Structure 1
Amino acid sequence: MYEDDQARAGAIAAICAFVFWGMAPVYWKQLAHVPAFEVLCHRILWSLFFVGLLLSLRSGWGTFKAIFSSKKTMLLLTLSGLIVGGNWGLYIWAVNHNMVLQTSLGYYVTPLVSMMLGVAVFKDKIRPIQLCAVFLAVGGVVVQLIIVGELPWVSMVLAFSFGLYGLLRKLAHVESMAGLMFETVLLIPFVLIYLGSLELQGTASFLHVDRMTDMYLIGAGIITSLPLMWFAFAACRLRLTTLGLIQYIAPSLAFMQGVFLFNEPFTMGHMLSFMFIWSAIALYSGESWLQRSRKLLHAEEM
């Protein structure tokens, strides 16, 4: 019963995280006039204050301090912090350069990346249908390269970086808020140096454009921290395959925004590429659902 409660809590947290991420392009579009790296730095800076406040309210500083007692945990969180920082920056840059569809494609592929990482690290068994799903996803990338004439490099970098982030957080076994605080503190010195240099050069956006820009930059801390904490909470309580299934919420929301809200180019080549990816998802999801149903049925018979 305890395990069922933990899995249910993890699923709810994952759904909340991916709905937030799926709707994020609408938020970041409001900061299109601010350089992506400057937005990234404000994401990190204001996340520090927001997560620090939550840790204080929940008396969680003891959990944060405990991280420093394990070199392995510190190394894992250092790597995850650097990876997620790069992922954030690329995502903001892509959204504000009219590549929402590429971000959508990347996060559609992420669950398959997570599955392959599970096979490589946790020795999860990959079944034939799952392998077919991987080949279909690769086919979608090849189609876009040949027909559309471009390699969806943004999609690939986002998929592999976020897949690795989920893996590292699962290996770290650290409470979500404490782990996020460590990742944020790790990046803060670089953030302060960069923002300070912008201020000295007179090119900083914060407090120099308008009040709405300031509010959006401050709010970036909340928009960043909440879904990451939910995701880290879920990653410790769900199998990577289950987490992968829930991840489809975010790219589906981003896809609809890219096509219908931001009117990004969507040719027959793009459609064919996405059809390969969607077919891969259908195979992967259907097979996973069948396997889970069989296990539950077998457990009831026992």
Structure 2
Amino acid sequence: MRNGLLNAICAYIIWGLLPLYWKWFETVPAGEILSHRIVWSFVFVAGLITLQKRWKELKLVLKDRGTLLPLIASSILITVNWLVFIWAVNNGHVVETSLGYYLTPLINVALAIVFLREKPTGGQWLAIVLAGAGVVLITVDYGSFPWVSISLALSFGLYGLVKKRVKIDASLGLMTETAIVVPVALVFWSYLGVSHASTVWSLPVGSLALLLLSGVATALPLLLFAKAAKSLTLSLLGFVQYIGPTLTLILSVTVFKETVSHVMLISFALIWSALIVYAMASIRAARQLAAQ
């Protein structure tokens, strides 16, 4: 559990700082960035599989329908998540992405209760109520339906659920997910080339080299997340996730100069209070279980 928690913290720190990375390519359409993100993620993970000499294991995964079908679903979910996130960052909606990932833990808790039969303790229920109140305040203060936030929360919450239920090694799972969608990305590359609409290849050499590293920036936190999902409850995994949107919120204000109201600050205080309450309740529950 300790290793899982460390993996989750590292993954969410990387995700929280990713807007800095994607903002570098704000002149490139979101769909084109997404296609490169998919292709270079595939290349990076394929390199890992080669180093680990696990291609035979991968073939067995592709032949196992019970594993392959959920991974098809997870690949679609994470692709949707990537596209919405990139579009939002490059179009000045970084605060909405932060809200989306604040919503995700609540989605995770709901999914855990419904599908995994996890039973929160009294203290954990209190944390859920506090976090829910904070998210409702943010949504009301925002003044319009936050479709970016809802899309990000639902897609990543469901992705986490699928990853929790599929019994497969992290690198093999990610390799399968990227392999499923990489043909679509390559077809899109071909379309851009034929229609002379590609913008990436005209970027400065430094920016182009940075984009080629998008595979590492994408795959590394996903691998850490997949490992964390195997050893942590979905509810705890969700609450650790508050690290990511908090970093994103800080970036939105200090770097991207987006405004945050007093109501939103109160909401964030509620959410962080919920995180502390949830952590304390989880530690207490773990100690009681160990004492039995």
TM-score (norm 2): 0.92
Which amino acid is the alignment partner of residue 154 of structure 1? V
After superposition, the Cα gap between the structure-2 partners of 1:255 and 1:289, relative to the gap in structure 1 and judged at 3 Å, is farther
Aligned mate of 2:223, from 223, 229, 236? 229
Q: How big is each residue's C-alpha offset from its partner over 1:174-207, in whole Å with a ceiling of 9 and x where there is no partner?
A: 1111111111111112111111111111120222
Q: Secondary structure of the residue that 2:213 maps to in structure 1?
A: helix
Paired position in structure 2 for 1:187: 181
Alignment of 1:117-156 (within 5 A): 117-156=111-150
- Partners of 1:147 and 1:19 lie apart in 2 by 26
- Partners of 2:204 and 2:257 lie apart in 1 by 27
CA contact (8 A) 1:113 1:163 kept: yes
Which amino acid is the alignment partner of residue 10 of structure 2? C
CA contact (8 A) 2:98 2:249 kept: yes
Aligned mate of 2:41, from 35, 39, 47? 47
Q: How big is each residue's C-alpha offset from its partner over 1:87-125, in whole Å with a ceiling of 9 and x where there is no partner?
A: 011111111122222222222232232222111111111
Shifted more, 81-90 versus 254-263: the winner is 254-263
Paired position in structure 2 for 1:207: 201
Per the TM alignment, residue 255 of structure 1 is displaced from its structure 2 partner at its CA by: 1.7
Mind listing any 5+ residue stretches in structure 2 that lack a counterpart?
A: none
CA contact (8 A) 2:134 2:270 kept: yes
- Partners of 2:272 and 2:147 lie apart in 1 by 19
Which amino acid is the alignment partner of residue 54 of structure 1? L
CA contact (8 A) 2:19 2:248 kept: yes
Identity %: 38
Paired position in structure 1 for 2:19: 25
Which amino acid is the alignment partner of residue 89 of structure 1? L
Shifted more, 163-172 versus 274-283: the winner is 274-283
Paired position in structure 1 for 2:278: 284
- Partners of 1:242 and 1:21 lie apart in 2 by 17
Q: Secondary structure of the residue that 2:280 maps to in structure 1?
A: helix
Aligned mate of 1:74, from 68, 72, 75? 68
After superposition, the Cα gap between the structure-2 partners of 1:109 and 1:142, relative to the gap in structure 1 and judged at 3 Å, is closer
Mind listing any 5+ residue stretches in structure 1 that lack a counterpart?
A: 1-6
Runs of 4+ in structure 1 over 6 Å off: none
After superposition, the Cα gap between the structure-2 partners of 1:242 and 1:264, relative to the gap in structure 1 and judged at 3 Å, is same
- Partners of 1:121 and 1:13 lie apart in 2 by 24
Shifted more, 175-184 versus 62-71: the winner is 62-71
Per the TM alignment, residue 65 of structure 1 is displaced from its structure 2 partner at its CA by: 1.2
- Partners of 1:193 and 1:149 lie apart in 2 by 39
Aligned mate of 1:88, from 74, 82, 86? 82
Q: How big is each residue's C-alpha offset from its partner over 1:205-257, in whole Å with a ceiling of 9 and x where there is no partner?
A: 22223212311221111100111111112211222233234322212221211
After superposition, the Cα gap between the structure-2 partners of 1:148 and 1:239, relative to the gap in structure 1 and judged at 3 Å, is closer
TM-score (norm 1): 0.89
Aligned mate of 1:252, from 204, 221, 246? 246
Q: Does 1:242 align with 2:236?
A: yes
Paired position in structure 2 for 1:217: 211
CA contact (8 A) 1:105 1:274 kept: no
Aligned mate of 1:164, from 158, 164, 169? 158
Q: Secondary structure of the residue that 1:236 maps to in structure 2?
A: helix
- Partners of 2:103 and 2:279 lie apart in 1 by 13
- Partners of 1:174 and 1:37 lie apart in 2 by 29
- Partners of 2:123 and 2:145 lie apart in 1 by 26
CA contact (8 A) 1:78 1:186 kept: yes
Q: How big is each residue's C-alpha offset from its partner over 1:33-82, in whole Å with a ceiling of 9 and x where there is no partner?
A: 11111111100011111111110001121221121232121110000000
Number of residue equivalences: 292
- Partners of 1:141 and 1:239 lie apart in 2 by 22
- Partners of 2:140 and 2:201 lie apart in 1 by 46
CA contact (8 A) 1:148 1:269 kept: no
Alignment of 1:283-302 (within 5 A): 283-296=277-290, 298-299=291-292
CA contact (8 A) 2:99 2:138 kept: no
Shifted more, 41-50 versus 127-136: the winner is 127-136
Which amino acid is the alignment partner of residue 56 of structure 2? G
CA contact (8 A) 2:62 2:176 kept: no
Per the TM alignment, residue 157 of structure 1 is displaced from its structure 2 partner at its CA by: 1.9
